[in-house]
Amino acid sequence: MPSHGARGRSGGRPTLEEVAARAGVGRGTVSRVINGSPRVSDATRAAVEAAVAELGYVPNTAARALAANRTDAIALVVPEPETRFFAEPYFSDMLKGVGAELSETQMQLLLIFAGSDRERQRLAQYLAAHRVDGVLLVSVHADDPLPDLLAQLEIPAVISGPRSAGETLASVDSDNYGGARQAVEHLLSRGRGRIAHITGRLDVYGAQRRIDGYRDALSDAGHAADETLIEAGDFTEEGGLRAMTALLERHPDLDAVFAASDVTAAGARQALREAGRRIPDDVALVGYDDSAIARHMDPPLTSVRQPIEEMGRRMIDLLLSEVADRRPAATRSLERRQLVLATELVPRASS
Amino acid sequence: MPSHGARGRSGGRPTLEEVAARAGVGRGTVSRVINGSPRVSDATRAAVEAAVAELGYVPNTAARALAANRTDAIALVVPEPETRFFAEPYFSDMLKGVGAELSETQMQLLLIFAGSDRERQRLAQYLAAHRVDGVLLVSVHADDPLPDLLAQLEIPAVISGPRSAGETLASVDSDNYGGARQAVEHLLSRGRGRIAHITGRLDVYGAQRRIDGYRDALSDAGHAADETLIEAGDFTEEGGLRAMTALLERHPDLDAVFAASDVTAAGARQALREAGRRIPDDVALVGYDDSAIARHMDPPLTSVRQPIEEMGRRMIDLLLSEVADRRPAATRSLERRQLVLATELVPRASS
DNA sequence: AGGTACTGTGGGAGCGCTCCCATCAGTGAT
DNA sequence: ATCACTGATGGGAGCGCTCCCACAGTACCT
């Protein structure tokens, strides 16, 4: 009666059991060898490995996932439309770091975009089904519900850039505060005295930290606080143009601008051009990100470099340890779960 | 004895069995409802759906995959380093189409890069483990072993651009032959008589088809064949520059060039500039792809547009039907499995 | 009345693993 | 010799589904 049990048997993929039979050992022993357990004698291990090779055995992921309650996969979730993902080098750099670090392991990376409501809906389903062991979350805004969803589902997650000073999720960030200070101190050392700042989106914590760094660098150098030298931007080119225009109107005598991103700086540059200001002769300009734009701008843009690729690697490290460690998150200390990486100023002709 | 069976029971995710108990039906019936089988009475279906909602039931993918021998996931395999993926709009357009079509279904998309040998190794393992139901293969060269591996593993696959005229895999392509003809006929209609062609990589079938289209358009218009007007390129900018330089040396009197890609055309443009030729006054230039480069070139480049996003959608359609249809591939007719989509000439100032 | 043919349903068996308990042989201490 | 231990191993039970067979009920023929 070749009924049910025969499903895909002959000619199908070999199973653990078949490997065990071939090697003349039990199922458990083969499992131990496959999973690298040390409690197997060398002779047995060799026999099993030979059988695995002969049969071309590959473990069935679904069966393993069902029995062990893990998937050996993690997701990189991008809460943005795909377009932005491709447009910004930030993501591709991060992906490079993530991929590199992950290639050391057996983990699989899924790339998931959640830009539209529909996509977010699908993502929620996906996470609820626990189809990944952990999640990497990049570019999250202050009011995003995703981190809470992850916490509720008890899925380990690492976020790039905390949402606030009180972030409870594990995170890896660059030193936004320090980076901003570097930028401003650089401008001061070049003899600039009237330094303006165009901010990033104010609902992004990193943008806030850059404002703090800007303020503190100035006051530490003995400059009186002047909040009118700060103008809100939103990380976009148009935002930079708009903000720069407003700043020039308010402070025709300013001699330097620190922009919260290179793209913003590009917008600012345009406004400066239109106003007849020369860079860097009349106004020095510093950006943030050290992206391709910075190198190709005319004149090349001084910028603050973030080690994005390394951030990607560190995020994976953190996430994998969280996944391995499956204790309730509250048990662990926050210290080792919130990394801040140093930034570096890259001086170019614009300052 | 709360030993094994208790694993994750209390507070864990609800199971089919629990839903069945709640709805007062059997396990099989719940399964039928979940999977949309028509053989369930309306009343029962409603009861089950209520229970599902109350318990917040989400099927366990691993269990389903194990029992049903399918994963509900497909992979988009890019046999290129990530860098190229991000650099070329081709991929992002295709991804957009793929994502759009897939969002209609419950299928999950995995993005897998296989640029390095190491990555290819991992991919082979991944495929051998049958972790996806099907594969979308983009940008494959003639000698790539991947398609054969897929065939051997009996994994349904769709390729973007057949490897040769005898391609056996399902494929979706644009009409390279027709596109090339359009380009050449356009140049002829503009009164150009000495039309050269810079080819793409010769191991790419689509590049061969473009050469064929170029040849036939000329001979159909009564032009004598002149193979010295054809120069090999490789889709890159440097290749275009090199080829154009060679062509100018051989045929100083040529008055038009059809390049196998926009990037190639950009290289050709540079060579033409250096040789003091004006575009389009002295030499008309036509590219292929209608990428962002074409629009931003100086002068804007006439180019042949491929409907890449639609190609992505069609590839998914084809793949899903292959996956659904799980008959041996040989049974099916090739006709419906090899699509060719029309191209369109976008005239701009360069011709 | 009996037969045939559905439709709707319940539940056993099985997918291929991991986990854990039981077992067994070997080792050294008593 | 006996009694722990220890390290290596076999195999039962179970993960949560799908598939399919069996069966009850109803309807429509002979």
Which of A103 and A217 is assigned the larger pLDDT? A217
What separation in angstroms does the CA of A176 have from each of A167, A233, A264, A289, A321? 16, 16, 16, 10, 25
Bridge partners, residue A75, by sequence: A110, A135
Contacts of A131 in chain B (CB under 8 A): 61, 108
CA-based nearest distance B69→chain A, Å: 9
Helix A262-274 crosses helix A237-250 at what angle (to 10 degrees)? Answer: 50
A129 CB contact with strand D at below 7 Å:
no
For a pLDDT cut of 70, what percent of chain A falls above it? 93
Q: Which of B69, B103, B130 lies closest to A119 in CB terms?
A: B103
Is the CB of residue B58 less than 8 Å away from at least one CB of chain A? Answer: yes
The pairing of strands A157-160 and A134-138 is parallel
Is the CB of residue B69 less than 8 Å away from at least one CB of chain A? Answer: yes
Is the CB of residue A59 less than 8 Å away from at least one CB of chain B? Answer: yes
Considering all nucleic acid strands, name the nucleotide whose C1' atom is nearest to the C-alpha of residue A4: C14
Q: Are residues B82 and A99, on separate chains, in Cβ contact within 8 Å?
A: yes
What separation in angstroms does the CA of A295 have from each of A115, A153, A288, A351? 29, 43, 12, 13
pLDDT in tens, A248-302: 999 999 999 999 999 899 999 999 999 999 999 999 999 999 987 888 788 999 9
CA pair distance B197, A177, nearest whole angstrom = 55
Whole-number pLDDT of residue A6: 35
Is the CB of residue B15 less than 8 Å away from at least one CB of chain A? Answer: no
B26 CB contact with strand C at below 7 Å:
yes
Is the CB of residue A121 less than 8 Å away from at least one CB of chain B? Answer: no
Strand D: which residues 41-70 of B lie within 7 A (CB)?
A: 57, 59-60, 63-64, 66-68
Contacts of A13 in chain B (CB under 8 A): 130
CA pair distance A221, A240, nearest whole angstrom = 26
Q: pLDDT band for A332, please (50, 70, 90 cuts).
A: low
B26 CB contact with strand D at below 7 Å:
no
B129 CB contact with strand C at below 7 Å:
no
Q: Does the pLDDT value for residue B7 go beyond 80?
A: no
Q: Are residues B96 and A82, on separate chains, in Cβ contact within 8 Å?
A: yes
Is the CB of residue A69 less than 8 Å away from at least one CB of chain B? Answer: yes
Strand D: which residues 242-301 of B lie within 7 A (CB)?
A: none
Q: What is the mean pLDDT of chain A?
A: 90
pLDDT in tens, A1-54: 333 333 334 457 899 999 999 999 999 999 999 999 998 999 999 999 999 999
Is the CB of residue A108 less than 8 Å away from at least one CB of chain B? Answer: yes
Which residues are CB-neighbours of B97 under 8 A, at least 6 positions away?
B308, B309, B310, B311, B312, B313, B315, B316
Q: Are residues A96 and B82, on separate chains, in Cβ contact within 8 Å?
A: yes
Contacts of B130 in chain A (CB under 8 A): 13, 60
Q: Are residues B103 and A92, on separate chains, in Cβ contact within 8 Å?
A: no
Signed CA dihedral, B32, B37, B41, B45: sign only = positive
Is the CB of residue B152 less than 8 Å away from at least one CB of chain A? Answer: no
Nucleotides of D under 7 A from a protein CB: 7-21
Provide the residue type at A344 as one letter.
E
CA pair distance A278, A299, nearest whole angstrom = 10
Considering all nucleic acid strands, name the nucleotide whose C1' atom is nearest to the C-alpha of residue B65: D17
CA pair distance B143, A1, nearest whole angstrom = 46
Question: 3-state class of B57 per DSSP?
Answer: coil
Query: Which among B177, B176, B183, B181 has a CA at the least distance from the CA of B284?
Result: B183
Which of A10 and B47 is assigned the larger pLDDT? B47
Whole-number pLDDT of residue B340: 95
Whole-number pLDDT of residue B12: 78
Q: pLDDT band for B90, please (50, 70, 90 cuts).
A: confident
Bridge partners, residue A136, by sequence: A76, A158
Distance A89 CA to D15 C1' (A): 43
pLDDT in tens, B183-220: 999 999 999 999 999 999 999 999 999 999 999 999 99
- At residue A51's C-alpha, the angle toward residues A48 and A57, to 5°, is 105
Q: Are residues A82 and B99, on separate chains, in Cβ contact within 8 Å?
A: yes
Chain B: residue nearest A121 by CA? B103
Nucleotides of C under 7 A from a protein CB: 7-21
Q: Does the pLDDT value for residue B91 go beyond 50?
A: yes
Is the CB of residue B105 less than 8 Å away from at least one CB of chain A? Answer: no
Strand D: which residues 39-58 of A lie within 7 A (CB)?
A: 39-41, 43-45
Q: Are residues A60 and B66, on separate chains, in Cβ contact within 8 Å?
A: yes
Q: Are residues A86 and B82, on separate chains, in Cβ contact within 8 Å?
A: no
Distance B3 CA to D3 C1' (A): 30
Query: Which among B195, A139, B316 has a CA at the least distance from the CA of A147?
Result: A139
Q: What is the mean pLDDT of chain B?
A: 90
CA-based nearest distance B65→chain A, Å: 6
- Nearest residue for D20, CA–C1': A4
Which of B33 and B336 is assigned the larger pLDDT? B33
CA-based nearest distance A76→chain B, Å: 11
B37 CB contact with strand D at below 7 Å:
no
Q: Are residues A61 and B129, on separate chains, in Cβ contact within 8 Å?
A: yes
Contacts of A58 in chain B (CB under 8 A): 125, 128-129
Chain A: residue nearest B105 by CA? A122
Q: Does the pLDDT value for residue A173 go beyond 60?
A: yes
Whole-number pLDDT of residue B80: 82
Whole-number pLDDT of residue A85: 78
Contact in structure between B287 and B343 (CB atoms under 8 Å): no
pLDDT in tens, B317-334: 999 999 987 644 445 565
Considering all nucleic acid strands, name the nucleotide whose C1' atom is nearest to the C-alpha of residue A35: C18
Q: Are residues A66 and B60, on separate chains, in Cβ contact within 8 Å?
A: yes
Considering all nucleic acid strands, name the nucleotide whose C1' atom is nearest to the C-alpha of residue B18: D16
Q: Is B222 left (phi over 0), alpha (psi -120 to 50) or beta?
A: left
- Asked whether the bond before A299 is cis by omega within 30 degrees of 0, the reply is yes
